[in-house]
Chain A
């Protein structure tokens, strides 16, 4: 280091490096607190390790994919409004060519909107019998239905 480059005397960069290494010990400690097989587990969804509930919901959407036609128009039923909202939000991106129609939106019932969807994705919640649906496929955590046209 040239004199012009030198910092104030007695101020060693090593202190900063020691502190930087000390920071790294926190994630290392957090990692080693879990068993190795858990560390090596390959996630199935983007949220496996950050939000188990949302991960299950994402996996449900992935499972439904095989049973949906191109450019599907569907609504989603779930056991509670929060779950239905989360599934609706994720479905818009999970199926980029689709039109998801909400049956509830932020907890506000919108049955007139959801009723326009010819397909129903039911997550952990059987649809009401009066909906007159035909089962297309059972998938993990739910099922895919189609509305039966009124005679």
Chain B
């Protein structure tokens, strides 16, 4: 029985990044929320370590893989723990809301668990390449560059970033082999881990009850769409974790200059190392954030954007440098020449695209946040980090599908339910903020300074 050891290895990932839990921007949050931040740093650290050790021809073992991220994390943790952090805000969630939200989120997670454990949401790609790479990486105790270069391994998209196979290989090293039937169940953990941090971040801009309710809706919508899109065992849940938390952190940040962007930068780096779409999403999120900051006339926009650009860019460069070192094709393959677009496919792309956005709920998962978004009649500028992700992802997909040489209907049916999930998550967060959100703190301060309160 190999799954308990695999599960233990996956559950140990936050230990590898425990230092993140002590970063001043996270330290005041609840323990589960801090564990989510630690998980993100652990995953990024483990992925980079896997790449570096393979580059240096060091054979992987649990200790060899764990030591560098653990050491760096501990050092960072000691450094961060000495820096001041904002005081912890006491919770005010109503008992009824807390109980209802916990029950609904637990129900959603149990339904996803049941679907995954009974093999009802396993991704075929997990058996075709995600898990395949993991099993081979674990067998050779490193990234199997010879396999990635092999002419007859082209189906396994060797250019895809390596985080998911490295994580699964890490579990396989602990378990002795890849527990094929169990690995998809672990997709659930990404949602369960992200939920407390989503709620914690939302609390910075809305009441506790509202943050709890929006986070609960996010859990319900994402668990259902993960199951419906057969995302067990592939990269989707991990990508959803990173992109959701990046968007949430940027949506709720204070307008004051100097606010830390450690958390969103870390999440964007994680997204870029998880999937090709992570790079497109990171570009859209950063563009939306810079545009929002410019439109809101925030100070130090470019300097403040640097961490958001540098962290994912550095992660991507490490992967591309590894590709070059390993003799792989450097960069990502497109589905055709960039300008060879078939406009005749546009009606098909739009029609099939919309049809496949039902998210397992007859479009209700989309309809609810869109309705709140429209009804809120809010200033859309402050939602730009999320809206840019939605627009960027949809634009990227339409552009990509229009490159197909044949009718893309089948490919749209296979991929849209999966790759649209981050946009759905962003839509939920944007709608929650539009419906419940307060203005950024700096604005409150300046408004209060400009006009004294009425006596």
Contact = CB atoms under 8 A, between A and B. Distances in A.
A92 to B, nearest CB: 5
A96 B136 contact: yes
Interface stretch (A48-56, A118-126, A128-136, A143-151): A48-56
Interface of B: 92, 94, 97, 100-101, 104-105, 107-108, 111, 114-115, 118-124, 126-129, 131-136, 138-139, 147, 152-153, 155-156, 177-178, 180-181, 183-184, 206-210, 212-214, 216-217, 219-221, 224, 227, 230, 233, 360-362, 364-365, 368, 372, 432, 435-438
A96 B172 CA distance: 11
B436 A11 contact: yes
Nearest to A21: B104
B220 A1 contact: no
Contacts of A47: 119, 122, 124, 127
A17 B98 CA distance: 10
A137 interface: no
Nearest to A48: B119
Interface of A: 1-2, 5-8, 11, 13-17, 19-24, 26-28, 31, 39, 41-43, 45-51, 54, 58, 85-86, 88-90, 92-94, 96-97, 101-102, 105-106, 110, 113
Contacts of A2: 92
A111 B270 CA distance: 42
A43 B139 contact: no
Given A5-B207, A27-B224, A92 B213 contact: no
B136 A20 contact: no
A16 B178 CA distance: 39
Contacts of B136: 92-93, 96
Contacts of B227: 27
A106 B368 contact: no
Contacts of A86: 128
Given A13-B97, A20-B105, A31-B111, 16 more contacts: A8-B436, A20-B104, A20-B216, A24-B111, A26-B361, A28-B111, A46-B183, A49-B119, A86-B128, A90-B128, A90-B132, A93-B132, A94-B135, A96-B138, A97-B139, A113-B152
Contacts of A39: 118
Nearest to A26: B361
A13 B93 CA distance: 11
A137 to B, nearest CB: 22
Contacts of A22: 364
B224 A24 contact: yes
A45 B101 contact: no
Contact of B435 (A11, A90, A94): A11
Contacts of A48: 119
Contact of B127 (A24, A31, A46, A106): A46
A26 B108 CA distance: 11
A13 B126 contact: no
